[in-house]
Each structure stands twice: as C-alpha cells, then as structure tokens.
Amino acid sequence: MFYHVKELQYHAKPERPDPVFAKKLQEILGGQFGKISVALQYLFQGWNTRGNDKYRDLLMENGTEELAHIEMLATMIARLLDGAPDVEIDETAKNPVVEAILGGSTPQHSIVHGLGAAPKDSVGNSWTADYIIASGNLLADFRANLNAESQGRLQAVRLYEQTDDPGVRDMLSWLIARDTMHQNQWYAACLELEEIEDIIVPSTFPHELQKDKVAYTYYSNSAGAKSTKGL
C-alpha cells in the first residue's frame, strides 16, 4: 500500500518559466531511462521477488523513492510551463525569437495537458512498458538497474549543463546525487550476488549441458589478430 505525503522529497521550483526546457525535462520523466521506467522496473522486480526479503525490500524502497522523483519532475515541468507567454502562431513571422521558442517547445503541453507534464519523452513519444525489465533473475535485473541509473544520470548531467536556471540546477543536482547512490548500490548488489552464485546468468544451468569447448573462446571477426591479443 502506498500513501501520498503532501510534500516533495526535494523542492522543485524554477526561477522563471521556460517551456523549451520543460520539453527537455520530459526525457528524464517519460523517456526510456526516465523516472517512470525505473520506478516501475524496481516495483515489478520487487513484486516478483520470492524468498529473499532483503532484496525485495531494496527494490520496493527504491521503486517508491522513484515515484517521488516522478512527482518532483512533474512539478518542475508544470512550473516551467506556468506563466509562459501565450503567443499567437502568426507572431512567429514577425519575431524570430518567438519562432525559436515555439519551435523548441511542445504544443501538447498547452493543448492537451493544460500546461502540465505528461508520461512522454522529450519528442512526444508516449511512455511504454516495453522500457522496463523484470526477468525474475536478480543478478540480471540488478545489472539492468545499474545500466538504467547510469543512463539516467548521464542524461540528468547533460540537462544540468543545458540550463542556467538556479532552481532547475538545484533540483537536478539533487537527482544526480541520488543517481550516484543508486549506481553504487546496484553495483554492490551485483558483486554480492556474483560471490553467492556466479558471474554467468543463469547460474543454475548445468555446465555439462553446454558446449564448454566454445564457452570460453573468443571469436575474432575482424581482419588481423590484434583483437584476440587485446590490442
């Protein structure tokens, strides 16, 4: 069961409206590696975990935190859109600055979503459950989580570098720090599982049933021998 506390995990208040950057922020909200993806990825992995309360709790706690990050980003996007100038399309012919703003913003933010965030990426593609991974194998899933946090942090850092709004940077700086923690966390969990089981997934398949002769042989498909020698 989830409860909604009427406060943000961290404040999300821009200094000024910016519909163009609101569009960019949609990527880390509803994109492939956005907060909607990781929240549902962790929650479904947690709901599907059997017989290991430690890892189930880890997944559920992180999934719940990511729901809070969705709320922060949705709030920030709405505030970036709130108060943005309502400009007639015909004005673009007279004012190249206005044309640039309209060209970089998302019309659906005002037409469909009433100046609010949407479960979409930065170019308007709707979020899809195809983005999430929940295989039932903890090591495989934790590796996917590490990748998701790596990609998410990479995008958040790039967004940080594309704005000079102090309020937006403050929120992104906080999210970047949490992504740092989550990367370290999933990496540590992977190492722990590799020590308990094996590096290879799944570890339950008998080695005698695979063709071990080719299981540890590097095939070079490039001209020359440099790749086989590690050059």
State pLDDT tens for residues 40-70: 999 999 999 998 899 999 999 999 999 999 9
pLDDT(124) > 60: yes
> Residues 33-65, buried b or exposed e (16+ Cβ, 10 A)?
bbbbbbbbbbbbbbeebeeeeebbebbbebbeb
* Domain architecture of the chain: domains with CATH: 19-204 (1.20.1260.10)
Across the chain, mean pLDDT equals: 89
Cα–Cα distance measured from residue 16 to residue 81, given in angstroms and rounded to the nearest whole number: 9
- Whole-prediction pTM: 0.87
Strand, helix or coil for residue 163: coil
Residue 189 has pLDDT above 90, yes or no: yes
Tell me which long-range contacts 63-69 makes (C-beta under 8 A, separation of at least 24). 63/38, 63/39, 64/2, 65/9, 65/178, 66/35, 66/38, 66/39, 66/42, 67/2, 67/39, 68/8, 68/9, 69/9, 69/35, 69/39, 69/175, 69/178
pLDDT top residue among 197 and 22: 22
**E-strand stretches of the chain:** none
Taking 70 as the threshold, does the pLDDT of residue 109 lie above it?
yes
Which pLDDT score is estimated for 89? Answer: 46
Check whether 132 has a pLDDT greater than 80: yes
**CB neighbours (10 Å) of residue 172?**
24
Query: What per-residue confidence (pLDDT) applies to 108?
Result: 83
Per-residue pLDDT reduced to its tens digit, 26-44: 999 999 999 999 999 999 9
3-state secondary structure of 220: coil
The helix/strand/coil state of 8 is: coil
Residue 107: per-residue pLDDT = 82
Return the top range by mean pLDDT from 73-87, 103-117, 148-162: 148-162
pLDDT of residue 230: 60
Q: What is the pLDDT of residues 171-180, one digit of tens each?
A: 999 999 999 9
Cβ distance 195 to 139 under 8 Å? Answer: no
Structure tokens at 51: 């017989």
